Structure 1
Amino acid sequence: MKKSVELRKEYEELKNNIAALKAENKLDEAYAKLTDLRDLENKIRTAELEETLNKEVGGMEKMTNKEEMNVNKIFNKVLLGKSVSSEEMEFLNKAGTPGQVEATDGKGGYLVPLEQYNQIVEFKRELISLEQYCHTIPVNLPQGVMPIESGEIGELTVFDELNEINRTDVSFGSVSFKTSNYGVIIPFSIELLRDEKANLMSYIGKIVAKKSVNTRNKKIIELLKTLEATQVADYTGIIDALNVKLDPAISANSIILTNQTGFNYLDKLVDAQNRPLLEINLQNATQKLFKGRKVVVVSDALLPMNETKAPIFVGMLSEFAKIFDRQNLEVALSTEAGFTKNAMLLRAIERFDIQKVDNKAVVHLELETAA
């Protein structure tokens, strides 16, 4: 049995132990075991990494000329306009891309290979991205229409054996999308870009990822703010939203989205027994829960206060909004634009659209924090 599998079994046992302690209201004991839980998580990651490396090393031993056949190196040669052999281009295409590396659009950009694109996706996971709570739909066209269910689904109909089942109508609506181009210009030293072996994604990945997350977060917040706000005097307004205003299926999978000030207000509240209103997520001590729902916090700059009222969104973003993502990153290089600074300018472009689908999937509250 793999070491990682054994560690995962140990991890599940410890997690169940912590959950049992929590159920018995032994919070101090449960919290004390979080360190052991995190240590196991690190051991699992280390074991899985070692197993992956051992597998990859075994595969590499079967390959010849691995140094020459490097995705980053070949892609950089293509980007820099240097000649590549047919074998190199075949290897690059086999590495997998969201599109064809050989193909260029009217602006002369190249699609980043999948290996490097996935690296940028990993960078995004390190940031507070609201996209992870939405439903992302990969699309290949710049615009189109997606059918969605609308109205009541109804029920199954009773029927006698050998008789026909009565037909029922299912109504469908549609949501239109049109992806827009979002880009950034990044200056590079000529010395760096002369090195074919340099992994450009290690330099531009975090820049593109951060700007992409910021842009998408802003677009999602703009959609959420189109919902009419309900004024609530205290935290019980959140409970009302979960219990009454949202469909039970939506409520069960909801998150609580607020800004720093709103979170700070909720985090300080205690009940009659002086217990915190927000619970600690035993699987991640840095996260808090409200009635079992994750509390997601963004900056006051992204989600500003309305005087002393904190914005709070309760519901499922995945049902509220759809992100239509062309899921590719296009890069292009200009040696002329940075001529006066002895630099090259790299342009990175991604394409997506975000559309509101279900207004009833999220409730917008404004919580008074002055009291």
Structure 2
Amino acid sequence: MNYEQRLISQAELRALPTDQDEQPSNQIEGYAVVFNEPSKDLGGFVEVIDPSALDGVDLSQVVMLDQHDYSKPLANVKAGTLQLDVDDKGLHFVATLDDSVSYANDALANVKNGNVDSMSFRFDVDDGGDAFSKDENGQVTRTIKQLKDLFEISPVTVPAYDGTQVDTRSYNDFMEQENKEKEQKKMPTKTIIENKEKSELRSFADFIRSRGEVRDGITTTGAAAVIPSEVITPVFQLKQSNANLAQYVTVKSVSNGSGHYPIAAKQTGVLATKEELAQIADADAKMFTDVPFDVQTRAAKIYLSNEVIDDSAVDIVSEVKNQLQKLVDNTDNKNIITLLTGKDFTSVKAANTDDLKKVYNVSLDPALDKMFVTNQSGFNYLDTLKDAEGRYLLQPNPAAASGFGLFGAPVVVVADSLLANNADGSFPMIAGDLGQSIALFRRNQATAQWQQFDAYSQGLYVVVRNDYRVIDKTAAVNISLAAAGK
């Protein structure tokens, strides 16, 4: 499935005014999608976006690029620098650009001075999500009723109306049916079966009715349809645990590859008594500790043949991008678990409910936002524990990822493959405040897509520049639950 690009000339793209302190604003706003506004001619038809086209569409992964260039990201919903809102007019956005990045500063300047005043967006349409119609003047209109994905939005200089980017198969089917109906009106016909539902006939319906005619490589033999083996069906996603531990730790965006992160030290001292006219004594306390960070670059790439992309009935490129993002999540999970189970944090053994309560009540500071992380085996063990009155220890907690809580704190369950059982057969468990325990220093994350013309293929890569550090060794405790079999 080819994704499409559309120009929005009514984007109302502009830079926001300066703030109250007269500091220059680094924000731009406008409309990335406008409802019920006809496009320019797209090759025999115009197009409008229905106000319901964005219903149910996941906008959490949308990025803003400069001129559709994936190597030049400007803002990102996931990073909190791109805000999207659907209103009566369309899809409104507010983007905060990093003016320390040269190309972002150039893009901001071009919007401010009016050199760039249009928007474009890249998308694909859900199956059955569009329809064609013709008015009395012969104007054919494509109405997009439901988008499947919205990939990115871009401030643009040149309209993105390249005919090769428009998926015109459904338009060709519509015109073919129109021509058939005209021919049928010219000759006497005998109705055998009356079809009361006059709707657009897609290519699949056409080849079923073709009785042996060739349609896009698909033929019929008698009444039985023969589907060639090269027709690719939607990608089957294997179910697997997709816990993202990065959402629980402290994520700190940094502008340099290395440096120090100041952490306010815990204060246990008191103020000294001051005699009249005596000099005030120095505070006997350390105010801050520094956590050094050194960002490392991690990356992966993959090549896809254009034959596979062209012949696939699904958006293979988007599927691969989703898989690359899973690699990023796996990288975060592995590094966070490695720190949490390392020697920086206290390790204790828990053989019963009282041992767990002692860790929760005594070992951890009362001010912490406590939670528990365990693996499948540990969760299964906890699920069998009861208190002295015969009540199960785990209680329903709708706010927890697992649906259960322990002592009122949420329980997060990860796969045994990520958090393995201990060497002695006991079950691993981490109790504490992950946000105060671990910091993820994120320099940037970039994805790019390019053409390999000599091999008729496309390349995709993802690059993350992160570092993972312990920031408070007292904010979490490693627990070894009772050994298996005991």
Q: If the TM-score is normalised by the length of the shorter chain, which range does it land in?
A: 0.5 to 0.7
Q: 1:146-225 maps to which residues of 2 (within 5 A)? A: 146-152=261-267, 154-155=269-270, 168=283, 169-190=285-306, 202-225=318-341
What's the counterpart of residue 249 of structure 1? Answer: 367
Aligned residues: 278
Which structure shows the higher helix fraction? Answer: 1
1:326 lines up with 2:443 in the alignment: yes
Structure 1 position 209, deviation (Å): 2.0
- Higher Rg of the two aligned structures: 2
Residue identity matched to 2:353: Y
Structure 1 position 167, deviation (Å): 5.8
Residue identity matched to 2:302: I
Instruction: Give distance in 2, aligned partners of 1:207 and 1:229.
Output: 35
Instruction: Give distance in 1, aligned partners of 2:250 and 2:452.
Output: 39
Instruction: Give distance in 2, aligned partners of 1:343 and 1:361.
Output: 49
What's the counterpart of residue 384 of structure 2? Answer: 268
Q: 2:462 is matched with which residue: 327, 340, 348? A: 348
Residue identity matched to 2:263: I
The 8 Å contact of residues 143 and 177 in structure 1, kept in 2 or not, is answered as yes
User: Residue by residue, what CA displacement relative to the aligned partner does 1:69-103 show, whole Å, maximum 9, x if unpaired?
Assistant: x9679415989xxxxxxxxxxxxxx9666656679
Q: 1:42-61 maps to which residues of 2 (within 5 A)? A: none
The 8 Å contact of residues 145 and 174 in structure 1, kept in 2 or not, is answered as yes
Instruction: Give distance in 1, aligned partners of 2:259 and 2:271.
Output: 33
What's the counterpart of residue 474 of structure 2? Answer: 360
Residue identity matched to 1:329: A
1:75 lines up with 2:41 in the alignment: no
The 8 Å contact of residues 235 and 266 in structure 1, kept in 2 or not, is answered as no
Give the TM-score taking structure 1 as reference length. 0.62
Q: Judging changes above 3 Å, is the alpha-carbon distance between structure 1 residues 284 and 179 closer, same or farther for their aligned structure 2 residues?
A: closer
The 8 Å contact of residues 187 and 345 in structure 1, kept in 2 or not, is answered as yes
The 8 Å contact of residues 71 and 448 in structure 2, kept in 1 or not, is answered as no
Structure 1 position 291, deviation (Å): 0.3
The 8 Å contact of residues 324 and 354 in structure 1, kept in 2 or not, is answered as yes
Give the TM-score taking structure 2 as reference length. 0.48
Structure 1 position 166, deviation (Å): 6.4
The 8 Å contact of residues 235 and 367 in structure 1, kept in 2 or not, is answered as no
Q: 2:243 is matched with which residue: 125, 128, 139? A: 128
Question: Identity percentage over the alignment?
Answer: 27
1:141 lines up with 2:134 in the alignment: no
Question: 3-state SS of the aligned residue for 1:366?
Answer: strand
Q: Judging changes above 3 Å, is the alpha-carbon distance between structure 1 residues 102 and 314 closer, same or farther for their aligned structure 2 residues?
A: closer
User: Residue by residue, what CA displacement relative to the aligned partner does 1:302-348 show, whole Å, maximum 9, x if unpaired?
Assistant: 11112320111110111111110123324253617x83xx4222121
Instruction: Give distance in 2, aligned partners of 1:138 and 1:240.
Output: 36
User: Residue by residue, what CA displacement relative to the aligned partner does 1:242-270 show, whole Å, maximum 9, x if unpaired?
Assistant: 111111112xx111111110100001122
Instruction: Give distance in 1, aligned partners of 2:477 and 2:152.
Output: 35
Instruction: Give distance in 1, aligned partners of 2:415 and 2:336.
Output: 14
Instruction: Give distance in 2, aligned partners of 1:151 and 1:73.
Output: 44
Q: Judging changes above 3 Å, is the alpha-carbon distance between structure 1 residues 145 and 274 closer, same or farther for their aligned structure 2 residues?
A: same
Which structure shows the higher strand fraction? Answer: 2
Instruction: Give distance in 1, aligned partners of 2:321 and 2:97.
Output: 16
Structure 1 position 144, deviation (Å): 1.1
Instruction: Give distance in 1, aligned partners of 2:274 and 2:470.
Output: 39
Q: 1:234 is matched with which residue: 328, 343, 352? A: 352
Q: 2:427 is matched with which residue: 273, 298, 310? A: 310
1:370 lines up with 2:485 in the alignment: yes
What's the counterpart of residue 291 of structure 1? Answer: 407
Instruction: Give distance in 2, aligned partners of 1:78 and 1:303.
Output: 35
Instruction: Give distance in 2, aligned partners of 1:312 and 1:357.
Output: 20
Q: Judging changes above 3 Å, is the alpha-carbon distance between structure 1 residues 164 and 330 closer, same or farther for their aligned structure 2 residues?
A: farther
| Structure 1: gaps of 5 or more residues | 1-54, 80-93, 104-112, 119-125
CA RMSD of aligned residues (A): 4.4
| Structure 2: gaps of 5 or more residues | 1-29, 48-62, 73-93, 106-120, 122-149, 154-240
Instruction: Give distance in 2, aligned partners of 1:264 and 1:275.
Output: 16
